[in-house]
């Protein structure tokens, strides 16, 4: 289900430019007790997400990378203004514990009434309800650093948060080669299937 404003999106013609909601949906199995994952569309995974899901810890309502991130640029991809706020980029890749009682408060009515800040900052949770995942699972291109000699610093989920190689201005960003290889492989696969 999609509802609630993300990024504090402005209303246009009575509709939000983008909405997001993860959690309760009475049209689906309301008894679902497992874990769900949300991830922004500007990620490239280089590792099996089964490794990530194995880190899910039922003590937490959500789990994410706890970035200490303050973007330097005033504009991000495609000319969108950049904003700085607490827990910046924490919500860009999140594991949600659907069985956690605090997540059950996220009804469509609550989410529709709250701001993007409420969702992005996990304002319905206490700090100790938010579990921490390794940086490798939300590796911010241009911010986090990989040491070729240290496998623990290698990204498993590359987040092109400022812009990726699908934009001309970012054709040569860090890890662009990996994204472009995936694109090329997909095009070759589609050609074979025709």
The number of C-alpha atoms within 13 Å of 22 and in the hemisphere containing its C-beta is: 24
Domains in the chain (CATH in brackets) are 11-193 (3.90.550)
Mean pLDDT of all residues in 144-172: 91
- Return the higher-pLDDT residue of 145 and 3: 145
Nearest of 8, 34, 28 to residue 19 by alpha carbon: 8
106: left (phi over 0), alpha (psi -120 to 50) or beta: beta
| pLDDT band with cut points at 50, 70 and 90 for residue 31 | low
pLDDT digits (tens, 9 = 90+) for 35-74: 989 899 999 999 999 999 999 999 999 999 999 877 777 7
Q: Quote the DSSP letter at residue 88.
A: T
The distance of Cα 128 from the centroid of its chain, to the nearest Å, equals 20
Asked if 67 contacts 108 with a C-beta cutoff of 8 angstroms, the reply is: no
pTM of the model: 0.80
Please count the helices (runs of H) and the strands (runs of E) in the chain. 4, 11
Asked if 129 contacts 57 with a C-beta cutoff of 8 angstroms, the reply is: no
pLDDT at residue 13, rounded to an integer:
40
* Residue 98 φ/ψ, nearest 5 degrees: -65, -15
Q: Which residue has the tokens 């904003």?
A: 83
pLDDT at residue 130, rounded to an integer:
97
pLDDT digits (tens, 9 = 90+) for 104-148: 888 778 888 888 888 889 999 999 999 999 999 999 998 899 998
The number of C-alpha atoms within 13 Å of 103 and in the hemisphere containing its C-beta is: 27
The distance of Cα 173 from the centroid of its chain, to the nearest Å, equals 19
Tokens of 188: 């070759």
| pLDDT band with cut points at 50, 70 and 90 for residue 100 | very high
pLDDT digits (tens, 9 = 90+) for 63-86: 999 998 777 777 776 677 877 777
């Amino acid at each position: 289900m999609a509802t609630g404003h993300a990024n504090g999106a402005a209303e246009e013609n009575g509709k939000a430019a983008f909405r997001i909601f993860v959690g309760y949906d009475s049209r689906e199995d309301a008894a679902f007790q497992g874990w769900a994952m949300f991830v922004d569309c500007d990620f490239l995974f280089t590792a099996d997400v089964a490794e990530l899901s194995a880190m899910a810890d039922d003590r937490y309502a959500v789990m994410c990378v706890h970035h200490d991130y303050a973007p330097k640029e005033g504009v991000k991809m495609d000319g969108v203004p950049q904003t700085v706020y607490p827990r910046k980029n924490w919500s860009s890749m999140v594991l949600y514990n659907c069985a956690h009682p605090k997540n059950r408060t996220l009804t469509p009515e609550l989410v529709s009434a709250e701001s993007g800040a409420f969702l992005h900052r996990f304002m319905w949770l206490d700090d100790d309800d938010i579990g921490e995942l390794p940086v490798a699972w939300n590796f911010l291109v241009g911010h986090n650093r990989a040491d070729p000699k240290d496998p623990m610093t290698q990204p498993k989920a590359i987040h092109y948060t400022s812009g990726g190689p699908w934009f001309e201005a970012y054709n040569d960003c860090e890890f662009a080669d990996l994204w472009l290889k995936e694109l090329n492989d997909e095009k070759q696969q589609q050609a074979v299937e025709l």
